[in-house]
């Protein structure tokens, strides 16, 4: 009798252990199914909120860029466009900055009759500014340097064939727009550098970058 009971107990013990483990696993699985959607839902909601905020900020930058672009502008020099490029590059990154510069350029060409310099004098600097800002680990000076090189050199050189072949300008050369473009980038870049440096010192820059959901380079940490 005792032998049978011992034999039965030894035979049933592994089965009971397996049954307990199965019950525990099903319970944990049920808890996970109930909790994880809430966690993932919160993350998705946060990402959606960041995306909406980025679009709102982008729209603000486009509107502001169109409105202030006539300030200090002569053909071949638009300092306020470079200011917007650098700010957008630092706050949102190179691709949003490129999109912003492209849309501002198109709007200025359509509504204000600005020549194609509105594009060639903005898009290269916008992209390179954001790229160098990230490559340097968040140095504002690198963003300004990217704007100077991208617009003052690359954009200026590209503007020559565009204006001559597509816009019918004559008497131009490869270096014709370089002095004007560099002057514009230095003016706009200086304003942007002072503004962004002030925002970085009081932490407002990094706080807003976090709200936008972009890469934050808080150099105070």
Residue 96, pLDDT score: 94
In a domain, 20, yes or no: no
pLDDT range class, residue 172, cuts 50, 70, 90: confident
In a domain, 178, yes or no: yes
Closest CA to 178 of 161, 159, 163: 159
pLDDT range class, residue 26, cuts 50, 70, 90: low
Name the range with the highest mean pLDDT among 34-38, 52-56, 99-103.
Answer: 99-103
Q: Hey, is 113 helix, strand or coil?
A: coil
Residue 217, pLDDT score: 81
DSSP 162: I
Residue 84, pLDDT score: 95
In a domain, 7, yes or no: no
- Determine the Cα angle at 209 with ends 203 and 130, to 5°: 110
pTM of the model: 0.76
Closest CA to 125 of 88, 161, 176: 88
User: Does the pLDDT of residue 221 top 60, yes or no?
Assistant: no
In a domain, 32, yes or no: no
Residue 142, pLDDT score: 96
8 Å CB contact between 187 and 79: yes
In a domain, 164, yes or no: yes
- Measure the CA–CA gap between 142 and 96, rounded to whole angstroms: 17
Lowest mean pLDDT among 33-37, 57-61, 148-152, 210-214: 33-37
- Measure the CA–CA gap between 20 and 100, rounded to whole angstroms: 60
In a domain, 44, yes or no: no
In a domain, 180, yes or no: yes
The H or E element that residue 39 is part of is helix 2-68
Mean pLDDT, the chain, whole residue set: 81
In a domain, 217, yes or no: no
Count of the separate structural domains present in the chain: 1
Please name every residue paired with 74 in a beta bridge, in sequence order, or none if there are none. 77
Residue 82, pLDDT score: 94
| Domain of 125, in residue numbers | 50-212
pLDDT range class, residue 114, cuts 50, 70, 90: confident
Q: Read off the CATH number of the domain in which 150 is found.
A: 1.10.1760.20
Residue 9, pLDDT score: 47
């Amino acid at each position: 009798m005792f032998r049978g009971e011992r034999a039965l107990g030894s035979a049933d013990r592994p089965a009971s252990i397996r049954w307990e483990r199965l019950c525990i696993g099903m319970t944990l699985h049920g808890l996970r199914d109930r909790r994880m959607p809430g966690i993932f839902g919160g993350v998705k909601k946060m990402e959606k909120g960041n995306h909406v905020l980025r679009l709102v900020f982008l729209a603000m930058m486009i509107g502001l860029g169109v409105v202030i672009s006539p300030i200090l502008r002569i053909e071949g020099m638009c300092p306020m466009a470079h200011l917007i490029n650098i700010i957008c590059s630092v706050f949102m990154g190179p691709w949003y900055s490129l999109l912003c510069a492209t849309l501002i350029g198109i709007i200025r060409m359509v509504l204000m009759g600005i020549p194609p310099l509105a594009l060639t004098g903005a898009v290269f600097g916008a992209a390179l500014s954001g790229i160098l800002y990230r490559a340097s680990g968040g140095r504002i000076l690198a963003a300004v340097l990217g704007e100077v090189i991208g617009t003052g050199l690359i954009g200026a050189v590209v503007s020559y064939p565009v204006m001559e072949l597509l816009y019918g300008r004559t008497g131009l050369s490869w270096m014709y727009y370089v002095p004007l473009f560099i002057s514009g980038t230095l003016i706009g870049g200086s304003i942007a550098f002072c503004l962004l440096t002030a925002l970085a010192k009081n932490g407002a820059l990094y706080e807003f970058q976090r709200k936008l959901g972009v890469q934050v380079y808080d150099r105070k940490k």
